[in-house]
Amino acid sequence: MTTLARIFERIVGDDVGVAFSAYDGSKAGPDDADIRIEVKSPIAVAYLAQAPGELGLARAYVSGHIDVHGDLYTLLSRMWSLTLNDLPLREKLDAIRSLGVKPLLMRVPPPPQEVRRSALARLGSRHAKQRDAKAISHHYDVSNRFYEWVLGPSMTYTCAVFPKEDSTLEEAQYTKHDLVARKLGLRPGMRLLDVGCGWGGMVMHAAEKYGVKALGVTLSRQQAEWAQKAIAERGLGDLAEVRHMDYRDVTETGFDAISSIGLTEHIGKDNLPFYFRFLNSKLKPGGRLLNHCITRPTGKEKTINTGGFINRYIFPDGELESVGYLIRQMEDNGFEIRHEENLREHYAKTLRFWCANLEEHWDEAVQEVGRAIARIWRLYMAGCIVGFERNKVQLHQVLAVKLESDGTSHVPLRPAVDWP
């Protein structure tokens, strides 16, 4: 009879250098493997039977019914393209017979950290204001202390830009903020709107380093409270402001520049025309927009996978489009594109620092947010490293301008020579 460990070996692959052990006492894989997957209870099998593939495996890992002994990133890199759906039908049926009836008949509810689609639906259609507020709160209102441990002193939860291979995370986050500022052409006395401002990193950088009057808005109450305190402590209250509000509720206009760093992923494909029209309406003629976001590598992939781990546990209602689609929406809604670059390798490096920070503060993190949430983050960030390295996802910065009525852009002929 096929053992449980052997079944999981089939699922993951018998040539990936991973060992397996299961609650039935069975073992599989090489004895000297540097990574071992431990199937600890029938609930892990039930999760996999209910949701074959990444979601079932994620539920089992988050709830502690599967453990990984060894480096999680290395495991995910080795089994990147493998799921239960890859098994031939005959092997699936053989696996089901081998598992026995009991685990397959168990109806185990998902871990409580998983977002219920029905709960979101009660808050309105996708990307309605109330529903967006709930989705953002789910991810960003975990704990400011937890984020301080993971993100480091910069408290910046977006892709950094590494000027050198051996740059620190703080150097790279400073470089990212300064790159955005330079692309926007910030100068003293200008007004900047930062939509989806997080903990206020870009707002404070623009105010402190460029003398810009900067307004940031975020749907996360905890982010806004942290940023407001940091602004006061740094004596930037005359120039910098962060509000807890939806970007759609900003009433001011006539901004010289707008930065959108990590917000577009939460807008939704159908809402992009409104989004870019709205931002265009907030700019002066000649004003610039810097849009920084995660994208799909092509337009062939689905923008949203409602049954996937990321949508269920990390970014409810999050959608990723291709950069080509985003640029078309920008062009069709009042902008001229002046520059674009792909920084996906930088995001993989950024995530490596965040993963190391989480491991360094693992015990404190578990005490602060609970083991399940800490495991969600460990899985999510390790998987994202692989995603950016394998070109499953990308990170693009797109610089656009709202032209004067006569077509004047106010963009220098070769501005990139001044960018780090």
Q: Which of 159, 293, 355, 384 is catalytic?
A: 384
Question: Quick one: pLDDT band at residue 281, thresholds 50, 70, 90?
Answer: very high
Average pLDDT, the chain: 90
Residue length, the chain? 420
How far apart, in whole angstroms, are the C-alpha atoms of residue 280 and residue 286? Answer: 11
Nearest by Cα to 294 from 315, 324, 264: 264
Question: Quick one: pLDDT band at residue 103, thresholds 50, 70, 90?
Answer: low
How far apart, in whole angstroms, are the C-alpha atoms of residue 257 and residue 400? Answer: 10
Instruction: List, for residues 233-261, the tens digit of each pLDDT value.
Output: 999 999 999 999 999 999 999 999 999 99
Say if residue 264's pLDDT is above 90: yes
How far apart, in whole angstroms, are the C-alpha atoms of residue 20 and residue 23? Answer: 10
How far apart, in whole angstroms, are the C-alpha atoms of residue 245 and residue 240? Answer: 16
Roughly how many angstroms between the first and final C-alpha of the chain, as a whole number? 61
Mean pLDDT over 90-94 rounds to 60
Can you point out the beta strands (E) in 309-381? Answer: 336-342
Instruction: List, for residues 366-391, the tens digit of each pLDDT value.
Output: 999 999 999 999 999 999 999 999 99
384 is catalytic: yes
**What is the edge-to-edge ordering of all strands in the sheet holding 35-39?**
27-28, 18-22, 35-39, 66-69
- Ordered structural domains, the chain, with CATH: 4-105 (3.30.1050), 131-418 (3.40.50.150)
pLDDT > 90 in the chain, percent: 69
How far apart, in whole angstroms, are the C-alpha atoms of residue 96 and residue 82? Answer: 18
Mean pLDDT over 155-181 rounds to 97
Instruction: List, for residues 24-60, the tens digit of each pLDDT value.
Output: 898 888 889 999 999 999 899 888 878 877 888 899 9
Within 8 A by CB and 6+ apart from 321, the residues are 269, 272, 295, 296, 299, 303
Question: Quick one: pLDDT band at residue 177, thresholds 50, 70, 90?
Answer: very high
Nearest by Cα to 71 from 79, 81, 63, 60: 79
Question: Quick one: pLDDT band at residue 74, thresholds 50, 70, 90?
Answer: very high
In order of 172, 322, 395, the CA distances from 165 in angstroms are 10, 27, 18
In the Cβ-directed half-sphere of 10, how many Cα atoms lie within 13 Å?
20
Q: 65-78 burial, b for 16+ CB within 10 Å, e for fewer? A: bbebeeebbbbbbb
Nearest by Cα to 13 from 71, 60, 81: 81
Say if residue 170's pLDDT is above 80: yes
Instruction: List, for residues 313-361, the tens digit of each pLDDT value.
Output: 988 888 999 999 999 999 999 999 999 999 999 999 999 999 999 999 9
pLDDT at 97: 61
How far apart, in whole angstroms, are the C-alpha atoms of residue 204 and residue 186? Answer: 13
